Amino acid sequence: MGGCIGLHSTDNETVSVSSASVSRPPTGPNVGPSRKNHPLCHETIRWRSDVPLTEGQLRSKRDEFWDTAPAFDGRKEIWDALRAATTAAEALDFQLAQAILDGANVSVPNGYLTECYDELGTQYKVPIYCLSYPINIVKEENGRDSPAEFSEPVDGGTEVVLKLRISSTMSDVKLSVYSKDMIGQCKKKLQAVEGIDACCQRWFYSGKLLGDKVPLEDCHIQNGYVVQVIVNTEHYNHDMINSVPIAS
């Protein structure tokens, strides 16, 4: 058997795979359709996260990547195929994953979905955390963070009215919170008002993702500015929404 090599992801996470099943792709930009292909390796990549994640946090991180990746480079249909292939591979259905890649004319020169190319030679990189769970995953009840982490602070700070733009309805809503609330608490308050499950929400301000454990006052949201709320529609029950008024 060959030794092990480390693959370094963009999130500084280290993984190990068998070197016996890895071949280096040709060098140079956009080698094109003649790029060497390799059958998808039938093994799960083991890796360790620098910061331990709960299952809920990992799912949110994955959803964030798949929702935003098509906006930067490549074709949406290829990203959709890669997402389906990673889901199949994680479920150990490598035959289905390979069929999806072949149907989309996607090549994987090193046998792993971390680096893929379409028939035009465009490169697609899938982060490690989308392919498998880290070995140091934090498992909690229902895969959620402890409710105590989002309990009301003793000193709630000053009242703040946030202007939120909901992606699923493209409408604006106003939400009363407190400056010392964490973003996770704010999500739960939005859930209570609008019926959008907190675990399906991702908040962005000035292009930056707001983490659940970050206090609102540390986000430095200016009065009157809009916070984008991206809703994961795959897990969101649209029947819970009746109507969302547009704030003036």
Q: What is the CATH number of the domain that holds 32?
A: 1.20.225.20
Question: Does 125 reside within a domain?
Answer: yes
236 plus 117 within the same structural domain? no
Question: Given phi > 0 = left and psi -120 to 50 = alpha, else beta, which region is 206?
Answer: left
Question: Does 225 reside within a domain?
Answer: yes
Residuewise pLDDT in 10s, the chain (248 residues): 333 334 444 444 444 443 333 333 343 344 444 567 889 998 888 888 888 888 888 888 898 899 888 877 889 999 999 999 999 998 888 999 999 999 999 999 999 999 999 999 999 999 999 999 888 888 665 444 444 444 444 455 788 889 999 988 888 999 888 888 899 889 988 988 888 888 899 999 988 899 888 899 999 998 889 999 998 865 544 444 443 444 43
20 plus 80 within the same structural domain? yes
The values of phi and psi at residue 196, to 5°, are -95, 115
186 plus 126 within the same structural domain? no
209 plus 89 within the same structural domain? no
164 plus 101 within the same structural domain? no
Among 245, 215, 241, 210, residue whose Cα is nearest residue 152: 215
Domain boundary among 120, 143, 166: 143
169 plus 134 within the same structural domain? no
93 plus 169 within the same structural domain? no
139 plus 235 within the same structural domain? no
Return the beta strands (E) in the chain as ranges: 4-8, 14-18, 46-48, 116-117, 123-124, 159-166, 171-178, 201-205, 208-209, 226-231
Provide the residue range defining the domain that includes 107. Answer: 4-143
Question: Does 113 reside within a domain?
Answer: yes
Question: Does 106 reside within a domain?
Answer: yes
132 plus 157 within the same structural domain? no
Beta bridge partners of 209: 204
Question: Does 248 reside within a domain?
Answer: no
Torsion angle, CA of 108/112/115/117, rounded to 10 degrees? Answer: 20
Look at residue 209 and give its three-state secondary structure.
strand
16 plus 103 within the same structural domain? yes
174 plus 212 within the same structural domain? yes
Question: Given phi > 0 = left and psi -120 to 50 = alpha, else beta, which region is 178?
Answer: beta
56 plus 107 within the same structural domain? yes
Instruction: Domain count for the chain, please give it.
Output: 2
